[in-house]
Structure 1
Amino acid sequence: MKAAPISYRRASTLDEALAAGGETARFLAGGQSLVPMMNLRLTLADIMIDISNLRELRRCAREGDRIFIGAGVTHAMLEDGKIADPSRGYLPHVAGGIAFRSVRNRGTLGGSLAHADPAADWPAALLALGADAVIRGLGGERRLPLAQFQLGLMETALEPGEILLGVSVPVLSCHARWSYQKFCRKSGEFAHSIAAVVCDPARGLAEVVLGAAGDKPFRLERASALLLGDEPPAAPQMALAVDEDVREATGLAVSSYEFHLHRTMALRACARLREHA
């Protein structure tokens, strides 16, 4: 199939892109998700606004104890270290495992978040990092914790005409630890389960996040709380917490394959976090 007829416009500035946006417009950055969906007519638009060359969306800057990363930054730029890494290797690691190099060359961090596929890497990975979404519209700029940005399956808090400007992420301390585990049946496909863990006691950050397990990534509350304790949690204690979190968040039967897959990924991520302490 091919996309329905559309009008195409290349924006030269962010303000021009915002002025052209609206209910029936779609913003095109890397196009690695949007174009295939339009070809299948799973999403429609009257006008496509190309924002791929906007320098404002590739801006990266230090903001106190956080770093702003523009939405137009590609996966390959993160993988190759072409921007400052505030995450002690976490972001390059995640970027390097996304699909194939040809996709990483074009696909963008902001495009992945705005597409809001629950099986994609960045929604889970950045939620675990404690990121904020930075949004720009004609009325100005606003920020949301990433937990409030993705509302459900391919649904975000973006209003018509708004653009995801980028994300603000904390600069991790030298004591930070992280683990990112992803299960795919074949190389390059979307994950069947993702477990992302970031722990930085100096920043009061401890997040265990499960992706590809529902309509959006979710935080494992009990497991995250255990990581903030003074002593590393015992394996049986963490297993019990993960069991309760996964059952509560997904509604899956404890006897199901999916439950055991997500449980295993979360426990593996937590265990490997301890191994690299």
Structure 2
Amino acid sequence: MKPAPFDYSAAGDLSDARRLLAGGAAKPVSGSQSLGPMLNLRLARPGRLVDVSALPELRAVAETAGAVTLGAAITHAEIEDGEVPDPTGGWLREAAGNIAYRAVRNRGTLGGSLAHADPAADWLIVMTGLGATAIVEGPQGRRRVAIEDFAVGPFVTALGAEELLVAVEVPRPGAGASWGYWKFARQVGEFAKASAAVLLDRQKGRLRCAVGALGRPPLLLGDPEGLIEGQVSPAAALRAALPERPAEALVLHVTALTRALAQARGGEEGR
């Protein structure tokens, strides 16, 4: 299939993009690796596409002692290739290198993936595990949204009318921090059937265990200390968090969490 007819505009700057997006009939587009297929299937029928891929505000990168802020139009490939700072010391680069295929990574963007809010996407679970913050701009100015509050449903975000995701702030882990990320896909390049991310950052008091590809936003599990120390099993944690789901529906997610925990524990022991 081919898309329904639409107009195209390339925004000159962020204020121009907001002007073009006003009214709700237009949609922003950057790499078009998520929106493009939806247009072809006519699941999305915007009256206008507003290209924001070259906006300086969405291409900017800023570093502080505690975090790196990546513009929403930074591509997966730029992260994979180390063309932008990686505050995690390589965890972002590794995650980016396992997204789909190189052709997709060359065009797909960090912000586009997060704003699409596919429950099985890599960046949504990775950024949830890392405790990242979405930087959003709209008619009322800028606001910050914890990434676990950014996706509110499958393909639905907390973005309000005429708001844009402009950047993502990724905190720097403390000394000795370790990380685990595991996903199951039927073959290389496909979306995950189950995924999990674990952060052990004792210096900064950040312990996070997240599970993704659940058909909903990533699940940030309570009692990460119990999971990390082995006092609570992954199966028990998921049963408690998702009592409505049969155990057999969570087998892959239990395994993904088990493996992510093992990776993180191994990284901690190796430091």
**Residue 97 (structure 1) aligned with residue 98 (structure 2):** yes
Name the CA distance, whole Å, in 2 between partners of 1:63 and 1:274.
28
The alignment-based identity, stated in percent, is: 42
Q: Which residue of 2 aligns with 1:252?
A: 245
Shift of 1:202: 1.1
Name the CA distance, whole Å, in 2 between partners of 1:238 and 1:81.
37
The alignment partner of 2:199 has SS state of strand
Q: How does 1:154-233 map to 2 (within 5 A)?
A: 154-222=155-223, 224-226=224-226, 233=229
The alignment partner of 1:43 has SS state of coil
Q: Which residue of 2 aligns with 1:261?
A: 252
Name the CA distance, whole Å, in 2 between partners of 1:199 and 1:88.
14
Name the CA distance, whole Å, in 2 between partners of 1:245 and 1:238.
7
Structure 1, residues 93-119: CA drift from partner, whole Å, max 9, x if none? 110000000000000000000000000
Name the CA distance, whole Å, in 1 between partners of 2:68 and 2:266.
28
Shift of 1:225: 3.0
Shift of 1:76: 0.4
Name the CA distance, whole Å, in 2 between partners of 1:169 and 1:142.
16
Shift of 1:64: 4.1
**Residue 4 (structure 1) aligned with residue 4 (structure 2):** yes
TM-score by length of 2: 0.95
Name the CA distance, whole Å, in 2 between partners of 1:270 and 1:67.
25
CA contact (8 A) 1:21 1:160 kept: no
The alignment partner of 1:103 has SS state of helix
The alignment partner of 2:208 has SS state of strand
The alignment partner of 1:17 has SS state of helix
Once the two structures are overlaid, the 10-residue window that deviates more, 14-23 or 112-121, is 14-23
Q: Which residue of 1 aligns with 2:130?
A: 129
Name the CA distance, whole Å, in 2 between partners of 1:62 and 1:273.
25
Q: Which residue of 2 aligns with 1:271?
A: 262
Structure 1, residues 149-194: CA drift from partner, whole Å, max 9, x if none? 1000100011121110111111112211001101011110000001
Structure 1, residues 176-229: CA drift from partner, whole Å, max 9, x if none? 10011010111100000011111111111111110001311111213x1326xx
The alignment partner of 1:165 has SS state of strand
Residue 100 of structure 1 aligns to which amino acid in structure 2? Y
Name the CA distance, whole Å, in 1 between partners of 2:221 and 2:144.
23
The alignment partner of 1:151 has SS state of strand
Name the CA distance, whole Å, in 2 between partners of 1:3 and 1:160.
23
Residue 258 of structure 2 aligns to which amino acid in structure 1? L
4+ residue stretches of structure 1 with deviation over 6 A? none
**Residue 31 (structure 1) aligned with residue 32 (structure 2):** yes
Name the CA distance, whole Å, in 2 between partners of 1:71 and 1:212.
22
Shift of 1:71: 0.4
Name the CA distance, whole Å, in 2 between partners of 1:174 and 1:210.
25
Name the CA distance, whole Å, in 2 between partners of 1:275 and 1:131.
23
Structure 1, residues 55-111: CA drift from partner, whole Å, max 9, x if none? 211111123412111100100011011111101211101100000000000000000
Shift of 1:244: 2.9
The alignment partner of 1:113 has SS state of helix
Name the CA distance, whole Å, in 1 between partners of 2:80 and 2:30.
18
Name the CA distance, whole Å, in 2 between partners of 1:103 and 1:178.
25
